[in-house]
Amino acid sequence: MALAVLFISFILLMFLGMPIAFVMGLSSLITIIYLGLPPLVIFQRMSSSMNVFALMAIPFFIYAGELMLRGAIAERLIRLAAALVGHTRGGLGLVNVMSSTLFGGISGSAVADASAVGGLMIPQMTKRGYDVDYAVNVTVMSAIIALLIPPSHNMIIYSISAGGSISIADLFTAGILPGILLALALMITAYIVALRRGYPAEKFPGFAALGRIFIVSVPGLLLVAVIIGGVRSGVFTATESSMIATIYALLVTLLVYRSLSWKDFVHATLGAVRTTALVLLVIGTAGAFGWLMALLQVPAVTIEFMRHFSNNSLVIFLMINVLLLFLGTFMDMAPLIIISTPIFLPVVKAYGMDPVHFGIIMILNQGIGLITPPVGSVLFVGCAIGKISIMQSMRTIWPFFLVSLIVLAIITYVPEVSLFLPRVLGK
C-alpha cells in the first residue's frame, strides 16, 4: 500500500509538470508521513546523498566543460574534424559525428555536446545544402557519444549509486571502445543517408593545413589524456583529476587560446553552478526516493518477479534494456540511474554480468532515452537550434535510432567491447 502511495503521488506530480527533483522529494515525504515515520529522515537522506566526496568531481567536470565551451574550444575541434573527414560525400554529417566524439572527451555531457556542436554545425550544414532534419538528427544522435567517452559525470553517479564499490577509472576506460563503436556506426549511417539524399563533399584542405589544424587542437585534446591518465594511474582521485581538468581548461583558454574574457569566466562559473545544482538536487531527492524504495523492498520484489519470468540471462538482459528504454522516455538520466541501479544491479550480477559492463549498458541505454520524447532534453536542444518541430525530426531519425539500438545490443551481448580496455590497462 505504501508503495502505491509512493508511485501514484510520483506519477501524478510528474504529469502535473512539476520539476522531477521536487516530485521525488514530495512523493517521498508523502509516503513517509503515510507510513507514520519521522519526516526528518527524508531530509537527512537528501542531505547525506549529496554529502559524498566523490560527487565533487561532478561540479569540476561541468566547470571544465563550461570553460572549454566559452573558450571556443569546440570550434577548433570541429575544424579538426572537418579537415579529417569533410572531403567525403555528405562530409559535414561525418564531421558532425566526429566533432561530437572529440568534444565528448571534454564535456562528458550530451546536452552540452548537442548545443556546442549543433550550434556551430547545424547552420553551416543547412547553408551548404543539407536538409535541416538531417543536420538535427545527426547532431542529437551523436551527442550520446559524449556520455560514453570519458569524462562522464553520469558514470560517477552510477558508481555512487552502486554503493561506491565500482571503480570510476574502470568505468571511464570501459566507455572508450563503446563510444568509438557508436561513433563509427553513426558515421556509416550518416554517410549512407547522405549518399541517398545526394549531399555534397567538401574540399580536402591538404596535409599541411591538416597538420596545422591538428597542432592547434592538441591542448584541447590533451585534456582527455590528463583526465584518464590521472584517474587511471591512481595518482589522483577522480575529484582531484576533475579539479586539475578545471584548472587546465582555465589555463588553456586563458593563456594558450586567449579566448576567455572576465565576462566569459563569470558566465562559465555561474553556468557550472546552475548545472551542478540541477544535477545534484536531483541526486539528493532521488537518494531519499531510492532509500524508500529499498525500505519497501522494491529491489527484492523485482528480482523475484524477473526470476519468475525467465531464467535465461539473455532474456533478462533484454527485459532490463527494454524497461530502461521505456523509463528513459519520460525520465531524465541522473534520477533514473540513482533509482534503477540498486534495483537492477543485483539482478544482472546474479546472472553473471560485470557491474562495469552494466554501467556502460545503462549509460548508452539512457543516453538513447535523452533523444526520445516526451522527455528528451538532447532532442529538444537540437530541434531548438535547427528551429524544427520534434515531429519533423522524429520522422527521419529512425535509421540513426535503429543503429544506436543495434550498438546497444552489441554492447549488451558482447561484454568484451566494454571490458577489454579496463582489463588490458588494469593494475
Partner 1 sequence: MLTVANYSYLMGKLAKAALWISGTGLVVMTIAIAWQVFGRFVLNDTPAWTEPLSLVLMLYFILLTAAVGIREHFHLGMDFFQNIASESTQQLMARISNLMVGFFGLTMLWWGGQLTAQTWSVKIPVLGLPEGISYLPLPLSGTLIFLFSIEQIINPAARKNLAPVSTTAE
Residue 346 or 373: which CB sits closer to partner 1?
Answer: 373
Nearest Cα neighbor of 284 from 43, 33, 53, 57 is: 43
**CB-nearer residue toward partner 1: 15 or 398:** 15
Contacts of 282 (CB under 8 A, 6+ apart): 20, 21, 24, 332, 334, 335, 338
Query: How many chain residues are in contact with partner 1, going by CB under 8 A?
Result: 77
Contact between 226 and partner 1 by CB under 8 A: the answer reads: no
* CB 284, CB 49: distance < 8 Å: yes
Does a cis peptide bond (omega within 30 degrees of 0) precede residue 39? Answer: no
Shortest gap between Cβ of 295 and partner 1 (angstroms)?
18
Query: Which residue in 115, 159, 161, 412 binds partner 1 (CB under 8 A)?
Result: 115
Beta carbon of residue 111, minimum distance to partner 1 (angstroms, whole number): 5
Cell numbers placing 329: 522516455
Selection from 110, 71, 27 nearest residue 259 by Cα: 71
Q: Which residue has the cell 549509460?
A: 363
**CB of 91 or CB of 284, closer to partner 1:** 284
Site for partner 1 in 136-155 (CB under 8 A): 147, 154
Enumerate residues 6+ apart whose C-beta is below 8 A from 105: 149, 150, 221, 223, 224
Using CB under 8 A as the binding rule, the residues of this chain from 387 to 406 that contact partner 1 are none
Applying CB under 8 A, among 374, 391, 424, 427 the residue interacting with partner 1 is: 374
Query: Binders of partner 1 among 300-339, rule CB under 8 A?
Result: 330, 332-334
Decide: is 362 part of the binding site for partner 1 (CB under 8 A).
Answer: no
Residues 337-356 that bind partner 1 (CB under 8 A): none
State yes or no: residue 240 binds partner 1 (CB under 8 A).
yes
Report 14-53 residues binding partner 1 (CB under 8 A): 14-23, 25-26, 29, 39-40, 42-44, 46-47, 50-53
Q: Does 280 bind partner 1 (CB under 8 A)?
A: yes
Cα dihedral: 252, 258, 264, 266 (round 10): 60
CA distance 360 to 62: 20
* Residue 65 in the binding site for partner 1 (CB under 8 A): yes
d(CA 37, CA 42): 10
- CA 71-76-77 angle, to 5 degrees, is 110
Smaller CB separation from partner 1, 284 or 355: 284
Selected range binding partner 1 among 77-85, 199-207, 273-281, 312-320, rule: CB under 8 A: 273-281
Cell numbers 554545425 label which residue?
A: 121
316 versus 324: smaller Cβ distance to partner 1: 324
Residue 231 contacts partner 1 per CB under 8 A: no
Instruction: Please tell me the distance from the alpha carbon of residue 387 to that of residue 174, in angstroms, as a whole number.
Output: 36
Of the candidates 176, 279, 379, 407, which one interacts with partner 1 according to CB under 8 A? 279
Between 109 and 418, whose beta carbon lies closer to partner 1? 109
